[in-house]
Chain A
Amino acid sequence: MNCIRYLLLSICLVLVLSACSSDAPDGVIRMGLTTAPTNLDPRFATDAVSSRINRLIYRRLVEFDATGMPVPSIASWTQVTPTHYRFTLQDQGRSYHHKKQLFAEDVKATFDSILDPATGSPHRSTVEVIQRIATQGNSQVDFYLKHPDSLFPGYLSIGILPADLIMQGHPFSTKPVGSGPFSFHSWPQEGVLRLTRIRDNRQFEFLPVPDPSVRILKLLRGEIDMLQNDLPPELLSYLAGKTGVSIQQRPGNNFSYLGFNLQDRFTSQPDIRRAIAHGIDREAIIRHFLKDGAKPAQALLPPHHWAGAKGLKPYRFDQQLARELLQQAGFSRQSPLRLVYKTSTDPFRVRLATLIQSQLSQIGIEMEVNSHDWGTFYSDVKAGRFQLYSLAWVGVKTPDIFRYVFHSASVPPGGANRGRYSSKVVDSIIDQAESSADFTHKALHYQQLQKQLLADLPYIPLWYEDHIFVSRDTITGYNLAADGNYDGLAQVQLNNQ
């Protein structure tokens, strides 16, 4: 029995050792996240959480206003010629966390590094219009473009890294050094990130809590102080009745849609796409499933965007018309249309799929829902192995998205035209919009484009999801941003001390 005694002793030792870990210090503001940030180097970060946290650590040349117009962040700019932009760094926000100043050389080094194919930055294609970068003194950077692009300033919303550390091959992904309002403090344990707010040395902790119910329970228990988005609507209703909890909600820009494969023999037929558009009761889904947590969408850009289209006529919910359209396409209750709807394994997306499946069954479409893990689903969508799928565009700022998503030259791997949509009219409008230097004319072209897309229906626009911020009453001063960023943390206060 000696071995059992040793086993018990070992277990006791593990118990004692694990009891030695200590709790976090008081005064730390904690935010619950769905997932941990994966990469704190803005040259590489592509996921939403990493990008939002990188905004706190690094400063950018350019920001966007509420209408999606690029506005100065730490630099103002002038267009010297159609292919030459001069950026002048402002005086504020130029101190790096490692005590050096942010100079023009840092801007050049950051974008040179992104443009270098050896870096392998996923943002290279965004800024590849840059032919060369030159600096004039410490505060002036000249960008020379390969061809005119009036949207160019909007591409420079990537965090600026210090040139000296880029040269040294510093591991920014795990030890970020920027000039933003927050500096990196530590990763006290796997996934848990701690930042320091520079102006008052307040520490902020970001904890991954994947399960939304548990995230809510942690908030109610006081283990986290706040959370943002990714909450099932029913949990929001549950929270609404709780004392000690505040909820902020504001319209967002994240665009949910149904995508069609335009090379499929069924979904390539306009009547079938229109029938599906008329067969989905978006209002009911928004009211009952999303608990009014979204606004109906008619186009990829919201109407308040400078290039957004106002007054687009939605496809009204009309089951009779949907049935007639299906009949025109040769389908009836006796010989129903059978479609496969692909989605991820995300519970929200699966529930949405089953709702749409149920609504479409009422107009005589037998829809099979296939959910796959993200990698497989995304791969299938890019490869065009689908008839119908649902996704959302997150963080869209500039109208160059239209070329990326709808131009016939953007079929993967050349872009994100996953449905293989091809329209000479649309291609031509995109080309005209891009070549127009005047923003008023550009906006008109993009509005015309969105009208055309709504008529063609390569996508069925569903809605723009609202942003939701939930906090304990001890938290004040958080401003929820239209794009769901975490910039409000720079002003947030903890009032229980």
Chain B
Amino acid sequence: MNTGYIISRLSSALLVVVGVVSIVFLLIHLVPGDPVEVMLGESAHAADREALRAALGLDLPLLQQLFNYFHGLASLDLGQSLHSQRPISNILADRLPATLELAVYALLFAVVIAIPLGIIAAVRKGSMADVGAMGFSMLGVSIPNFWMGPILILIFSLWLGVTPVSGRSGVESVILPAITLGTALAAILARMVRSSLLEVLNEDFVRTARAKGLPESKVIWRHAMRNAWLPVITLMGLQLGTLLGGAVITETVFSWPGLGSLLVESIQKRDYPVVQGCVLVISLAYVVVNTLTDLVYAAIDPRIRLGEDG
């Protein structure tokens, strides 16, 4: 992997972030709803409105505002919330750990469920196990989070009393949101593992491994799975990016103080600086995860040499 390739990937990643932030900046200002009116109410005088608009820099031309925003970003100043007057960096610092925690646990749950399920389904193709695994997969994708969340709460919190209903208060509080969020991902991943593995299982090198008398577990793990990882890793990278972007419904159901609910609340209140801060973090998360996914390819599959020709 050469340095030039990494620099080129990082540069394009930076461009993507700048592009996303700029587009969102322009779009949010086009949406109906004036933050100054939301803040001052309908009875405020025009002069007061204009004064506040000027104080917030909202009277400047849009491109000037965008320039000022990037100027602030260059000195790591994300501005402050129009409503709570808290620095955006503090707000994001409060929310980001919750989002990271939920994303990691949800992904962990998905991986732990999906990989064995996908392998069993592939190895025992056409059996009841395969049908069951794919049935779970179909169910996992179909059940909406806003229904699954309350049902899990009812069973595990109210009837069995083993987890808190909602909120973020220790490791036990993340179990249900992680299952809610991770189930659909597990379902998609399981299907991906199955189809990816099925393709590989018909390859000559697998037949050779079996012919050598290797135990089936070694054939699957050492030979087949190593070659089936790539599409699975790609999907996991994409899904992790989505998870880091926040999961509004799951966060709402479980009162989970993450980025997704913050973003929606801020859009509703037209709190532009907070929206921008969230979008910045989410786009960064996507870009970082996808770049890392590319780099992980090379580690998993020695045939891949990123950035080299031929």
Residues of A near any B CB (own CB < 8 A): 2-3, 11, 14-15, 18-19, 21-24, 35, 38-39, 41, 44, 46, 117-118, 120, 122, 124-126, 128, 171, 173-174, 189-192, 207-211, 213-214, 217-218, 220-221, 223, 373-376, 378-380, 382-383, 404, 412-416
Chain A residues with CB under 8 A of B268: 373-375
A120 B38 Cβ-Cβ under 8 A: no
A122 B167 Cβ-Cβ under 8 A: no
B94 A19 Cβ-Cβ under 8 A: no
A379 B33 Cβ-Cβ under 8 A: yes
Measured in the bound complex, the distance between the Cα atoms of B191 and A173 in whole Å is 50
Among residues 81 to 120 in chain B, which have CB atoms less than 8 Å away from a CB atom of chain A? 83-86, 91, 94-95, 98, 100-101, 104-105, 108
A38 B83 Cβ-Cβ under 8 A: yes
B168 A189 Cβ-Cβ under 8 A: yes
A120 B48 Cβ-Cβ under 8 A: yes
Measured in the bound complex, the distance between the Cα atoms of B43 and A159 in whole Å is 20
Known contacts A3-B299, A223-B167; is A14 also within 8 Å of B104 by CB?
A: yes
B168 A375 Cβ-Cβ under 8 A: no
| Residue in contact with B38 in the complex, picked from A126, A191, A375, CB distance below 8 Å | A375
Chain B residues with CB under 8 A of A189: 94, 168, 257
A117 B104 Cβ-Cβ under 8 A: no
A-B contact number at CB 8 A: 160
Assess whether B170 is interfacial by the CB under 8 Å rule.
yes
B39 A19 Cβ-Cβ under 8 A: no
Closest to B296 in A: A3
B84 A190 Cβ-Cβ under 8 A: no
Closest to A174 in B: B86
For the complex of A and B, list the 10 residue pairs with the smallest distance between their C-beta atoms, beginning with the closest.
A375-B33, A19-B171, A190-B94, A190-B257, A379-B32, A379-B33, A218-B165, A125-B43, A416-B42, A122-B40
CB-CB contacts of B285-304 with A at 8 A, as 1s and 0s? Answer: 00000000000100110000
A38 B84 Cβ-Cβ under 8 A: yes
| Residue in contact with B166 in the complex, picked from A15, A209, A373, A414, CB distance below 8 Å | A209
Size of interface on B: residues with Cβ below 8 Å to A: 63
Chain A proximity of B230: nearest CB distance (Å):
14
Assess whether B213 is interfacial by the CB under 8 Å rule.
no
Chain A residues with CB under 8 A of B52: 120
B84 A382 Cβ-Cβ under 8 A: no
A207 B43 Cβ-Cβ under 8 A: no
Chain B proximity of A112: nearest CB distance (Å):
16
Assess whether B157 is interfacial by the CB under 8 Å rule.
yes
A214 B164 Cβ-Cβ under 8 A: no
B101 A18 Cβ-Cβ under 8 A: yes
Closest to B154 in A: A217
A211 B252 Cβ-Cβ under 8 A: yes
Known contacts A174-B84, A210-B252, A378-B38; is A125 also within 8 Å of B44 by CB?
A: yes
Measured in the bound complex, the distance between the Cα atoms of B94 and A356 in whole Å is 42
Chain B residues with CB under 8 A of A24: 169
> A35-B265, A117-B48 are known contacts; what are 19 more A-B pairs with Cβ within 8 Å?
A3-B299, A21-B169, A39-B85, A44-B85, A120-B52, A122-B40, A122-B44, A174-B85, A192-B167, A207-B167, A210-B261, A217-B166, A221-B157, A221-B165, A223-B165, A379-B33, A382-B37, A413-B37, A413-B46
Known contacts A125-B45, A211-B252, A375-B33; is A220 also within 8 Å of B158 by CB?
A: yes
A19 B170 Cβ-Cβ under 8 A: yes
| Residue in contact with A376 in the complex, picked from B31, B40, B252, CB distance below 8 Å | B31
Assess whether B209 is interfacial by the CB under 8 Å rule.
no
Chain A residues with CB under 8 A of B299: 2-3
Chain A residues with CB under 8 A of B86: 173-174
Chain A residues with CB under 8 A of B105: 14-15
B257 A214 Cβ-Cβ under 8 A: no
A217 B165 Cβ-Cβ under 8 A: yes
* From A2, A192, A223, residue with most partner B Cβ within 10 Å: A223
A171 B270 Cβ-Cβ under 8 A: no
Measured in the bound complex, the distance between the Cα atoms of B55 and A192 in whole Å is 30
Chain A residues with CB under 8 A of B49: 413
Measured in the bound complex, the distance between the Cα atoms of B82 and A46 in whole Å is 13
Measured in the bound complex, the distance between the Cα atoms of B166 and A414 in whole Å is 43
B43 A404 Cβ-Cβ under 8 A: yes
* From B42, B55, B153, B261, residue with most partner A Cβ within 10 Å: B42
